[in-house]
């Protein structure tokens, strides 16, 4: 087991390296650099920046070094000093801007993951056990609908319903009073009171897919001889289900945590823009638009790292509950 | 086992079974697909949607880009098919209730009231603005339009510039559905190439390609797409942005298809019928094209169908965020941008309509793909 985990963790190193290259490549991609944008913004408000000042700015930010040197400066700063560089737009270190938002992103995605499982597992089992029943058809239909509705559209519709029919604003994660307040118990309560709306919206998409997978897995297991044996022994139907087929059907599902995380982060990014949630997505979008490269890079890097770590955890979890995997 | 075993001739096949015994694989698939009702329904809707995509101007009613200051946030007009006269007689004559704009005397805010009992009659194959059929043949005929060309009808209302939401939705269908097809086609080319190489050569190359696929699959797509799309210069012409966005979508979307291709390739290589053909001395080329491809293609078609909705959703999301297609190109995502802030949808909830089109297209393609996947393996019960 330890060997498996060690091998798996070692595999993370090339992936992380690739991710960091990718993130840096992506933020280098736009033509021009931050100084170009900066000069253009100033020019729009009738301030002229002469060539020398622009060159000095480039020098100061190291923008005229070759790609690989800039990459090295960037990644070594992150690894050795936890320094993600300077946000040009905010004129402050990136590390001061990202951690709270990344923390909230993590909170949002993990709560969504938990809710998704809590809804999808029982429904999946029910749909399989009562295959072709009325409930099965209803849930199958809802599941397909959930797959087809883009989460941002769902968020928009929900916000519309809340504003027009309930007279409530469901956007954001905090009430106005707590937006800039330091963390306190009251603020956490406020967060929880707001969190459930985006969590529910995001869970709809994931749940739909998961119900289908769980249903299919259960259907594969339900007609196995060991189920018949257990039933013949006189085990109650409920205990029988939980004790054998569910435990087996859940294995392939654990591996889906890995690929659900990238989807969740993707979905959360766009829902957050619609609902103006203070998580990574909206600030990433803003940074990308303003070519605030180090800020965008930090978010890209951390978001990708988050999904890679999720993959790692789901692999390890799978190996823990399914001994066949370990000895591959 | 109530019949004694004999060495007599095989039992006579019933006519239906006889038909089954000699049917080609594609025919079996068609039979199996036809049994899947939802998939049939999905297929019909998909066909219809692509018909709209082929001749959007024919289905549209008003010129999609035309602004009308007197129709800002004009509400949708319900379409009535049966016209009842005052004496109680009725006949089939499609019409809508005419609307009139009135201004609030104090705030001057415009609002729309039914214009007495005036009806605007609609006619099939009406004359209207000029458009191109399949982008080639100029035409002024529209499926449905007002009898009097000077009347304005907004079946799904108008947006903040008084543009017809229904007509824009029809035209946007072309962009959104084609970008789905084109993106999937590009993904398929990359996927077939890498998946095929991986499955064919195996060994070290396979291992490497596998890791690359896993890596791409583990990336959160939307942030990557956003970063790529943000890199496009603002001053590019819309057509060029359109093409580049398609490429960007497939750059991340190919991994899933490559995995399917590789998996099928590997499992087919060891199938009994392939081994049998090889032992019979069939050439490698004939094995691939006559024996492997038919059972291979059906799965690929199914996966491709299931990949199109993902592309459509991705384009919608990107354009919605303002990093995808740019006006004057209109897609469902571009149209949904109008519904972005809560204030405009509170006054004009019909701006959600393009979202309905997205959901319909994605649902139909999913059902179709599901049915195709089940039908792809007609021998499996």
Q: Kindly write down the DSSP assignment for every residue of B101-120, as one continuous string.
A: EEE-TTT--EEEEEEEEEEE
Q: How far is Cα B152 from Cα B70, in angstroms, rounded to an integer?
A: 10
- pLDDT single digits (tens) B178-223: 888 898 899 988 888 888 788 777 788 888 888 888 888 888 888 8
- pLDDT single digits (tens) B245-271: 888 888 877 888 888 878 777 777 778
* Residues of chain B contacting A, Cβ within 8 Å: 211, 215, 217-224, 226-228, 230-231, 233, 309, 313, 316-317, 320-321, 323, 336, 339-340, 342, 345-346, 349, 352, 355, 358-359, 362-363, 366-367
- Residues B49-64 have a mean pLDDT of 86
Q: How far is Cα B311 from Cα B42, in angstroms, rounded to an integer?
A: 18
Choose, out of A8, A32, A156, the residue to mutate when testing the contact with B (most B CBs < 10 Å).
A156
> How many residues belong to chain A?
328
Q: Are A152 and B342 within 8 A, CB to CB?
A: no
Q: Are B220 and A144 within 8 A, CB to CB?
A: no
- How much is the pLDDT for B228? 85
Contacts of B320 in chain A (CB under 8 A): 152, 270
Positive/negative CA dihedral, B289, B294, B295, B300: positive
H/E segment holding residue B124: strand B110-133
Share of chain A above pLDDT 90, in %: 1
- How much is the pLDDT for B378? 59
**Closest Cβ–Cβ partner in B217, B227, B313 for A296:** B227
Delimiting residues of CATH 1.10.3720.10 domain(s) in chain B: 41-54+169-380
- How much is the pLDDT for B45? 92
Residue of B nearest to A307 (CA): B218
Contacts of A269 in chain B (CB under 8 A): 220, 222-223, 226
Q: Are B323 and A26 within 8 A, CB to CB?
A: no
Contacts of B358 in chain A (CB under 8 A): 148, 150, 153
Q: How far is Cα A170 from Cα A152, in angstroms, rounded to an integer?
A: 14
ipTM of the complex: 0.82
pLDDT of B9 > 70? The answer is: no
- pLDDT single digits (tens) A233-258: 888 888 888 888 888 888 777 877 77
The shortest C-alpha distance from B151 to chain A (Å) reads: 32
- Residues B280-284 have a mean pLDDT of 86
Chain B contact for A275 (CB, 8 A cutoff): no
Using pLDDT thresholds of 50, 70 and 90, give the confidence band for residue B44: very high
Residue-by-residue DSSP string for B324-364: S--TTS--HHHHHGGG-SHHHHHH-GGGGHHHHHHHHHHHH
- Residue B143's SS3 state is strand
Taking all residues of chain B, what is their mean pLDDT, rounded to a whole number?
A: 81
- How much is the pLDDT for B47? 93
b or e along B203-240 (b: 16 or more beta carbons within 10 Å of the residue's beta carbon)? eeebeebeeebbbbbbbbbbbbbbbbbbbbeeeeeeee
Choose, out of B45, B176, B218, B322, the residue to mutate when testing the contact with A (most A CBs < 10 Å).
B218
Count contacts between A and B (CB, < 8 Å).
124
* Domain covering B41-54+169-380 in this structure, CATH number: 1.10.3720.10
Q: Are A160 and B346 within 8 A, CB to CB?
A: yes
- Predicted TM-score (pTM) of this structure: 0.83
Least confident of A85-99, B34-48, B347-361, B366-380: B366-380
- Taking alpha carbons only, the member of A84, A101, A89, A90 closest to residue A294 is A84
Chain B contact for A289 (CB, 8 A cutoff): yes
Q: How far is Cα A237 from Cα A221, in angstroms, rounded to an integer?
A: 14
Q: Say if residues B345 and A131 touch (Cβ distance below 8 Å).
A: no
Q: How far is Cα A235 from Cα A232, in angstroms, rounded to an integer?
A: 7
Which residue in the block uniquely carries the two structure tokens 């469902």?
B332
Q: Are A300 and B227 within 8 A, CB to CB?
A: yes
Q: How far is Cα B332 from Cα B320, in angstroms, rounded to an integer?
A: 9
Chain B contact for A270 (CB, 8 A cutoff): yes
Contacts of B49 in chain A (CB under 8 A): none
Ordered by where they begin, the domains of chain A are 101-279 (1.10.3720.10)
Q: Say if residues A77 and A84 touch (Cβ distance below 8 Å).
A: yes
Using pLDDT thresholds of 50, 70 and 90, give the confidence band for residue A195: confident
Q: Are B231 and A274 within 8 A, CB to CB?
A: no
The shortest C-alpha distance from A133 to chain B (Å) reads: 17
- How much is the pLDDT for B381? 42
- pLDDT single digits (tens) A156-191: 888 888 888 887 777 777 877 777 777 788 888 888
Cα–Cα distances in angstroms (integers) from residue B166 to residues A45, B48, B162, B335, in the given order = 40, 16, 12, 11
- How much is the pLDDT for B1? 45
Q: Which two tokens stand for residue B301?
A: 């078609």
**What angle is formed at CA A55 by the lines to CA A33 and CA A66, rounded to 5 degrees?**
55
Residues 128-157 of A with CB under 8 A from B: 144-145, 147-150, 152-153, 156-157
- pLDDT single digits (tens) B76-95: 888 888 887 777 778 888 88
Contacts of B313 in chain A (CB under 8 A): 150
pLDDT of B13 > 70? The answer is: no
**DSSP H helices in A233-279:** 237-243, 245-275
Using pLDDT thresholds of 50, 70 and 90, give the confidence band for residue B379: low
């Amino acid at each position: 087991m330890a060997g498996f985990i060690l091998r798996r963790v070692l595999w993370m190193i090339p992936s992380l390296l690739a991710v960091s290259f990718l993130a840096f490549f992506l933020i280098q991609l736009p033509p021009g650099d931050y100084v170009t944008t900066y000069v253009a913004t100033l020019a729009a408000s009738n301030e002229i920046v002469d060539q020398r000042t622009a060159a000095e700015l480039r020098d100061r930010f190291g923008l005229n070094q070759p790609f690989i040197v800039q990459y090295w400066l960037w990644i070594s700063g992150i690894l050795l000093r936890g320094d993600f560089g300077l946000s040009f737009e905010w004129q402050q270190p990136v590390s001061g801007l990202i951690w709270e938002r990344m923390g909230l992103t993590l909170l949002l995605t993990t709560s969504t993951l938990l809710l998704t499982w809590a809804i999808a597992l029982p429904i999946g089992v029910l749909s399989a056990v009562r295959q072709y029943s009325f409930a099965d058809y209803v849930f199958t239909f809802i599941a397909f609908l959930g797959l087809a509705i883009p989460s941002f559209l769902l968020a928009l519709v929900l916000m519309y319903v809340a504003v027009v029919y309930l007279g409530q604003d469901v956007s954001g994660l905090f009430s106005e009073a707590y937006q800039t307040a330091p963390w306190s118990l009251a603020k956490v309560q406020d967060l929880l009171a707001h969190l459930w709306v985006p969590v529910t919206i995001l869970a709809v998409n994931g749940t739909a897919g998961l119900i289908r997978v769980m249903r299919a897995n259960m259907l594969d297991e339900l007609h196995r001889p060991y189920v018949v044996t257990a039933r013949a022994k006189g085990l109650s139907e409920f205990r029988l289900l939980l004790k054998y087929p569910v435990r087996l059907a859940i294995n392939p599902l654990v591996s889906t945590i890995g690929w659900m995380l990238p989807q969740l982060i993707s979905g959360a990014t766009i829902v957050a823009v619609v609902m103006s949630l203070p998580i990574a997505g909206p600030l990433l979008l803003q940074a990308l638009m303003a070519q605030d490269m180090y800020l965008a890079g930090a978010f890209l890097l951390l978001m990708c790292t988050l999904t890679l770590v999720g993959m790692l955890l789901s692999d390890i979890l799978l190996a823990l509950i399914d001994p066949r995997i370990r000895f591959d | 086992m109530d019949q004694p075993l004999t060495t007599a001739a095989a039992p006579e096949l019933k006519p239906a079974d006889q038909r089954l015994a000699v049917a080609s694989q594609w025919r079996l698939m068609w039979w199996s697909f036809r049994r899947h009702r939802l998939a049939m329904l999905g297929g019909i809707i998909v066909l219809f949607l692509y018909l709209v995509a082929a001749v959007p101007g024919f289905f549209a009613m008003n010129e999609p880009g035309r602004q009308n200051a007197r129709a800002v946030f004009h509400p949708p007009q319900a379409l009535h098919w049966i016209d009842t006269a005052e004496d109680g007689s009725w006949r089939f004559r499609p019409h809508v209730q005419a609307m009139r704009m009135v201004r609030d005397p104090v705030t001057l805010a415009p609002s729309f009231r039914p214009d007495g009992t005036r009806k605007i009659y609609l006619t099939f194959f009406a004359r209207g603005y000029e458009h191109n059929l399949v982008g080639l043949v100029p035409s002024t005929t529209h499926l449905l339009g007002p009898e009097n060309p000077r009347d304005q009808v907004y079946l799904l209302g108008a947006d903040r510039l008084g543009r017809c939401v229904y007509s824009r939705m029809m035209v946007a269908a072309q962009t959104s559905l084609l970008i789905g097809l084109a993106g999937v086609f590009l993904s398929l080319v990359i996927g077939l190439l890498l998946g095929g190489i991986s499955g064919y050569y195996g060994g070290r190359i396979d291992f490497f390609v596998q890791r690359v696929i896993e890596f791409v699959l583990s990336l959160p797509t939307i942030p990557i797409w956003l970063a790529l799309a943000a890199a496009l210069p603002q001053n590019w012409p819309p057509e060029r942005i359109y093409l580049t966005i398609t490429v960007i979508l497939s750059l991340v979307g190919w991994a899933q298809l490559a995995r399917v291709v590789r998996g099928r390739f590997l499992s087919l290589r060891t199938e009994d019928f392939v081994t049998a053909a090889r032992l019979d001395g069939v050439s490698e080329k004939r094995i691939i094209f006559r024996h492997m491809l038919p059972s291979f293609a059906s799965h690929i078609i199914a996966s491709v169908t299931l990949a199109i909705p993902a592309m459509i959703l991705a384009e919608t999301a990107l354009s919605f965020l303002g990093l995808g297609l740019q006006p004057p190109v209109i897609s469902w995502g571009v149209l949904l941008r109008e519904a972005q802030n809560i204030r405009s949808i509170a006054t004009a909830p019909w701006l959600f309509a393009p979202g309905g089109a997205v959901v319909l297209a994605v649902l139909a393609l999913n059902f179709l793909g599901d049915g195709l996947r089940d039908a792809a393996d007609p021998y499996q019960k």
